[in-house]
């Protein structure tokens, strides 16, 4: 693994030239070292390392010293928990659970696009998850039953619009764990983290108009319905589906935790 010190030494030797390092998508430790040393991420270079996609990082002489600021910080202590559910970052160890979850027809139907995932898509989703988190584009987490340590579902934050401060939450619960209030708890934990630890100003979520379960989760977590977007998402067999959109603002989080007493 490349270290921050080695990268700083490379940049020092380069004088007034640009220094670039190409890292594997699953080499999150290397990517962290690059960001520590002030190397900025520059997208994805397809098929660049042994035929696999890779992430280029570069440092120019005029760039500010590291570490490169992050839009999505690490979870405090590595997890979020309320004592009943625990959220931890998605990773390579979660491939089997992620694959099994995505064989459920309800999960497939509410995915974008609404299609089963190939084994390779599942592998990449899990092995690149930390890289996307470091990039500030998405934070995927597994929801665990705290008492047993069993994985119950997946929840993700997608930072779609950093310039306007708007991000979206999405989730799926394994059928065996539905109806216990776990996804409501997970959405609440994620929302608290978003408003306590990131610069996000608007947290949105969308559901299919018939998905009353998901709408209930959002309402119980303090979200408010704000829009009905016609033909917003790709549906099955080249159709389009409408999307009921919800929003949670920082003040809604506080109200959901401690509702205001009347008067
Ligand atoms: C939607 C989903 C995430 C809910 O997960 P969950 O862990 O069962 O949710 P919770 O137990 O926290 O349920 C919260 C509330 O929703 C209600 N609810 C859950 N599923 C429901 C359903 N299918 N129909 C009606 N209400 C439902 C629960 O009864 C509960 O309300 P209550 O406390 O007033 O009884 C889960 O059903 C799922 O993964 N579905 C398939 C994928 C999906 O729809 N993802 C969301 C895409 S927007």
pLDDT confidence of residue 75: 98
**192 and 126 fall within a common domain:** yes
**136 and 168 fall within a common domain:** yes
**35 and 149 fall within a common domain:** no
pLDDT in tens, 184-224: 999 999 999 999 999 999 999 999 999 999 999 999 999 99
**109 and 237 fall within a common domain:** yes
Give the position, in ligand 1's atom list, of the atom nearest the Cα of 217.
14
**141 and 185 fall within a common domain:** yes
| Atom 6, ligand 1: residue with shortest CA distance | 178
Beta strand residue intervals within 64-134, DSSP E: 80-81, 85-89
Lookup: tokens for 112: 């974008």
**171 and 107 fall within a common domain:** yes
CB of 218 within 6 A of ligand 1: the answer is no
CA–CA distance, 191 with 256 (Å, rounded to integer): 11
CA 178 to ligand 1 center in whole angstroms: 6
CB 246 within 8 A of CB 228: no
Burial 89-98 (b: 16+ CB within 10 A, else e): bbbeebbebb
CB of 200 within 6 A of ligand 1: the answer is no
**54 and 81 fall within a common domain:** no
CB of 241 within 6 A of ligand 1: the answer is no
Q: How many other β-carbons are positioned within 10 Å of the β-carbon of residue 86?
A: 21
CA–CA distance, 11 with 65 (Å, rounded to integer): 11
Band (263; pLDDT cuts 50, 70, 90): very low
**55 and 81 fall within a common domain:** no
CB of 99 within 6 A of ligand 1: the answer is no
In-domain check, residue 70: no
Q: Provide mean pLDDT across the span 228-234.
A: 97
**52 and 89 fall within a common domain:** no
CB of 215 within 6 A of ligand 1: the answer is no
CB of 84 within 6 A of ligand 1: the answer is no
**23 and 109 fall within a common domain:** no
**84 and 14 fall within a common domain:** no
CA–CA distance, 253 with 169 (Å, rounded to integer): 14
CB of 57 within 6 A of ligand 1: the answer is no
Per-chain mean pLDDT for the chain? 95
pLDDT in tens, 131-161: 999 999 999 999 999 999 999 999 999 999 9
In-domain check, residue 262: no
- For residue 38, the enclosing domain spans 4-59
Q: Tell me the CATH number at 222.
A: 3.40.630.30
Band (261; pLDDT cuts 50, 70, 90): low
pLDDT confidence of residue 1: 79
pLDDT in tens, 68-79: 999 999 999 999
What is the length of the chain? 263
CA 23 to ligand 1 center in whole angstroms: 40
CA 64 to ligand 1 center in whole angstroms: 46
CA 179 to ligand 1 center in whole angstroms: 6
CB of 212 within 6 A of ligand 1: the answer is yes
**183 and 53 fall within a common domain:** no
Band (174; pLDDT cuts 50, 70, 90): very high
Give the position, in ligand 1's atom list, of the atom nearest the Cα of 109.
42
| Atom 33, ligand 1: residue with shortest CA distance | 181
């Amino acid at each position: 693994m490349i270290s921050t010190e080695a990268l700083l030494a490379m940049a020092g030797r380069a004088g007034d030239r640009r220094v670039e390092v190409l890292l594997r998508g699953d080499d999150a430790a290397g990517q962290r070292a690059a960001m520590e040393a002030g190397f900025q991420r520059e997208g994805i270079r397809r098929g660049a390392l042994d035929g696999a996609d890779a992430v280029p990082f570069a440092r120019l002489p005029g760039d500010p010293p590291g570490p490169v600021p992050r839009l999505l910080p690490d979870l405090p202590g590595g997890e979020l928990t309320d004592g009943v559910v625990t959220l931890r970052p998605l990773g390579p160890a979660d491939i089997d659970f992620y694959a099994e979850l995505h064989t459920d027809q309800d999960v497939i139907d509410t995915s974008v696009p609404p299609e089963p995932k190939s084994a390779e898509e599942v592998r990449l989703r899990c092995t690149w998850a930390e890289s996307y988190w470091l990039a500030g584009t998405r934070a995927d987490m597994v929801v665990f039953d705290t008492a047993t340590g069993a994985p119950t579902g997946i929840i993700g934050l997608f930072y779609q619009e950093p310039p306007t401060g708007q991000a979206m939450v999405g989730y799926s619960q394994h059928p065996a764990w539905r109806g216990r209030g776990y996804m409501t708890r997970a959405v609440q934990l994620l929302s608290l983290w978003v408003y306590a630890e990131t610069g996000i100003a608007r947290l949105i979520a969308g559901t299919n108009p018939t998905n009353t379960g998901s709408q209930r989760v959002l309402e119980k977590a303090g979200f408010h319905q704000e829009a009905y977007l016609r033909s917003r998402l790709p549906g099955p067999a080249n159709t389009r589906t409408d999307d009921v959109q919800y929003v949670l603002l920082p003040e809604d989080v506080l109200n959901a935790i401690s509702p205001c007493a009347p008067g």
